[in-house]
A and B are shown apart, each in its own frame.
Chain A
Amino acid sequence: GDSVTQMEGPVTLSEEAFLTINCTYTATGYPSLFWYVQYPGEGLQLLLKATKADDKGSNKGFEATYRKETTSFHLEKGSVQVSDSAVYFCAFPKGAGSYQLTFGKGTKLSVIP
């Protein structure tokens, strides 16, 4: 069935370090792919998305490229800040035209000064 596998956290980085959070998915077809972020005490927010193969989503310095060949959507940022400390979720619609999102289990990122 449809599923998302994210790298397990927690991930602790120093400020200005390079970040990669891996995400791979198993799905029927080629769904849109999303990264959501949950800052402490807040709800999930859409961080970025890509709707088709080879698309690159980007926002707030974060990027992720839709890789059809490897069924991956890894999240990257070149230089993290303390304010990036949050939980990051990879997600995609459960089926073609579906309203349900299938989420990964989340990766907690802590950035230390």
Chain B
Amino acid sequence: GAGVSQSPSNKVTEKGKDVELRCDPISGHTALYWYRQSLGQGLEFLIYFQGNSAPDKSGLPSDRFSAERTGGSVSTLTIQRTQQEDSAVYLCASSSQGPLPNYGYTFGSGTRLTVV
């Protein structure tokens, strides 16, 4: 597609429920990244995919968080048993330049998750 597409744009869920967030990167972009943008916390790195593999999951905050990528394209970030502290904007980015961000990422508009 023309840009990085994320869905849903907004999600309100009850504490304890599971949620899935979807990212459609730019076609042909091999590298995909998830970041979280929390109030007062700035942007935090969550996970990096190169193709379907995730060489670095070090930013995932707990084992309630997982992500996968299929076909070297769409990625899904899953949060199980959501907690209020999971409320944030989840941003996806992709890059065609391999793992190095020197050329900059292209970000999606994000999914705003609110846990009530």
Contact = CB atoms under 8 A, between A and B. Distances in A.
B2 interface: no
Interface string B41-57: 11101001000000010
Interface residues of A, number: 23
A44 B99 contact: no
Nearest to B44: A103
Given A43-B4, A93-B100, A100 B48 contact: yes
A101 B101 contact: yes
How extensive is the interface on chain B, given as a class? 20 to 34
Contacts of B100: 93, 97-99
A61 B3 CA distance: 24
Contacts, number: 62
Contacts of A34: 101, 104
Nearest to A46: B104
Contacts of A69: none
Nearest to B43: A103
Interface string A79-113: 00000000001000110011111011110000000
Given A32-B102, A41-B109, A99-B48, A105 B40 contact: yes
Contact of B91 (A43, A49, A105): A43
Name which of A36, A41, A45, A99 has the most chain B CB atoms within 10 A of its CB: A99
Nearest to B41: A105
Which are the 10 A-B pairs with shortest beta-carbon distances? Answer: A46-B104, A43-B107, A105-B42, A99-B99, A103-B43, A44-B107, A43-B109, A100-B45, A32-B102, A43-B108
Given A43-B110, A99-B99, A103-B43, 20 more contacts: A32-B102, A36-B107, A43-B3, A43-B91, A43-B93, A43-B108, A43-B109, A44-B91, A44-B93, A46-B105, A49-B102, A89-B43, A93-B102, A97-B99, A97-B100, A100-B56, A100-B59, A101-B45, A105-B40, A105-B41
Interface of B: 3-4, 6, 31, 33, 40-43, 45, 48, 56, 59, 91, 93, 99-102, 104-110
Interface of A: 32, 34, 36, 41-46, 49, 51, 89, 93-94, 97-101, 103-106
